[in-house]
Amino acid sequence: MRKLEEVIKNKVIEASRKLDENVLEKLRSAYESEDDKNAGIVLKAILDNISIASETGLPLCQDTGLFWTLISYAKSSPYSLSDLVSTTYEALEKAAVEGFFRKSIVADPVFERVNTKTNLPPVVNIELIDGDVSTVDVLLKGFGSENCSAVRMLNPTAGKDGVIDAILSMVREAGGKPCPPMFLGVGIGGSLDRAAFLSKKALIRKREHEDWRYTDLEDEILERVNTLHIGAGGLGGRATALEVNIEYDSTHIAGLPVALSVSCWADRKAHIEVREELWRED
């Protein structure tokens, strides 16, 4: 699966240097509508930084992040899950070297904290999907924003208002630390760990919700977050967050887990569809 390995590697390197057009457009729009002088200066610096990274091939940020991956393995895939996982791992290993990623991973989290010097291992999540086209999604997850992510285990009667209040509380506590304007992934339901996973999955979501109530909830949370006026760089202004995405699941009658994954303005991600021309060797 060498073609696939090359594609994953190149897309991950590109993600470290160029933002998706929809992310870039939201940043431009925030700058054009900002009436706070200090926030405007920050947004202009962000846009200038994006242009320099694109022109020079340099990473958008010195923290090239932790590789958070979601491998969605199609049940009718003609290749093994093991092959897809190993190909993804090898592609990330090469991307870290060829993309000049900062070596940011320590093997033991508490005691020695010795750097692996490879930016590996990645965090790998696997889920099964219908069909025969698998996908690989990679988040380059910087930890200035990751350190502001959190989970709240709400009372089951908290309802929509409780969810909104929990998100506002977490964002207010984060303040300017996650390099706003932010992109917010919200996971609701399941268990503590499931909600946290869903909040990451929300950050890479491509589709619209089939349930309009969750679309409306995303819009309401975004509007309420922006009334906090944390703003770009934490200096005030309109744009505290640029996007809110929600993923949800069933949960126990006694609970309402709510998780928030925070991404900074450098919302870096790669999406690869594993189609036949990529996995079949000539």
With contact defined as beta carbons under 8 Å apart, do 230 and 175 qualify? yes
Average pLDDT in the chain:
95
What is the residue whose two structure tokens read 């073609």?
3
Confidence label for 161 from pLDDT (cuts 50, 70 and 90): very high
Average pLDDT value for residue range 158-185: 97
Q: Does 121 sit behind a cis peptide bond, omega within 30 degrees of 0 on the bond before it?
A: yes
Strand order in the sheet with 256-263: 150-154, 256-263, 182-190, 241-251
**Residue 79: alpha-carbon gap to chain centroid:** 28
Residue 109 has pLDDT above 80, yes or no: yes
DSSP, collapsed to helix, strand or coil, labels residue 246 as strand
DSSP, collapsed to helix, strand or coil, labels residue 270 as strand
Confidence label for 60 from pLDDT (cuts 50, 70 and 90): very high
Q: Report which of 115, 98, 133, 120 is spatially closest to residue 16, judged by C-alpha positions.
A: 98
Helix (H) or strand (E) holding 196: helix 192-203
Strand order in the sheet with 134-141: 123-129, 66-74, 134-141, 269-274
With contact defined as beta carbons under 8 Å apart, do 264 and 178 qualify? yes
Give Cβ neighbours of residue 156 (< 8 Å, ≥ 6 apart): 253, 254, 255, 256
Q: Is 51 exposed, middle or buried (0-12, 13-18, 19+ CB in 10 A)?
A: exposed
With contact defined as beta carbons under 8 Å apart, do 143 and 63 qualify? yes
Give Cβ neighbours of residue 222 (< 8 Å, ≥ 6 apart): 184, 241, 243, 244
Residue 281 has pLDDT above 80, yes or no: no
Confidence label for 76 from pLDDT (cuts 50, 70 and 90): very high
**Residue 47: alpha-carbon gap to chain centroid:** 19
d(CA 221, CA 200): 17
Reading the block at residue 38, the tokens are 């200090």
The residue length of the chain stands at 282
Residue 263 has pLDDT above 80, yes or no: yes
- Structure confidence at residue 282 (pLDDT): 55
Q: What is the pTM for the complete model shown?
A: 0.94
